[in-house]
Amino acid sequence: MKKGKLIVFSAPSGAGKTTIVRHLLGLPELHLEFSISATSRGPRGQETHGKDYHFMPLSEFKQHIRNDDFLEWEEVYADNFYGTLKSEVEKIREQGKNVIFDIDVSGGLRIKRKFPEETLAIFVKPPSVDELKRRLKERSTESEEKIAMRIAKSSAELATAPLFDVIVENQDLDFAKQKAYDLVNDFVNKD
């Protein structure tokens, strides 16, 4: 059986990448499975352990770093660690399924560098920083302070867009979903 491919979606928080990733996961012909990341942050809203994230205490996360269990990891926000476990990705690829990642720009680029031929790295671009602010506030799952932290990070993240294989602008969600579908469909079906 052929090993699955890697599809990375990265973007500033609030750009809409999670919505696009969820949409693609619902399309069986793409044979995608979500890479469930480990994180040291606590669950938010309806999130569940083992589905959205492997939630764990910081001490456990650091033990995984020491054991070299991660393909990549980042302290995305102060004291909030996120990482992709090697075992998670291998498990999916060995079933012949394609792995889809919803991870930050540094992690996304790291995966692309590790597996250049097998990875399609997609950057989801919000229409503007103002729109990003509006979306984060509307989501209202986080405190003002956390929202401000995410916005502060977004300009550095936006600057990395040209390093990705392709940029999908999320001005109109339906259009962005279709564009993402076409890109992923072409990539997983080519040899």
- Residue ranges of the binding site for ATP: 11-18
104 binds ligand 5GP (CB under 6 A): yes
126 binds ligand 5GP (CB under 6 A): no
**Distance separating alpha carbons of residues 37 and 185, to the nearest angstrom:** 23
**Distance separating alpha carbons of residues 63 and 81, to the nearest angstrom:** 12
CB of 182 to ligand 5GP, least distance (A): 22
CB of 118 to ligand 5GP, least distance (A): 18
Interface of this chain with ligand 5GP, residues 18 to 37, rule: CB under 6 A:
37
Interface of this chain with ligand 5GP, residues 51 to 80, rule: CB under 6 A:
72, 74, 76
83 binds ligand 5GP (CB under 6 A): yes
14 binds ligand 5GP (CB under 6 A): no
Interacting residue ranges for ligand 5GP, rule: CB under 6 A: 13, 37, 41, 72, 74, 76, 82-84, 102-104, 106-107
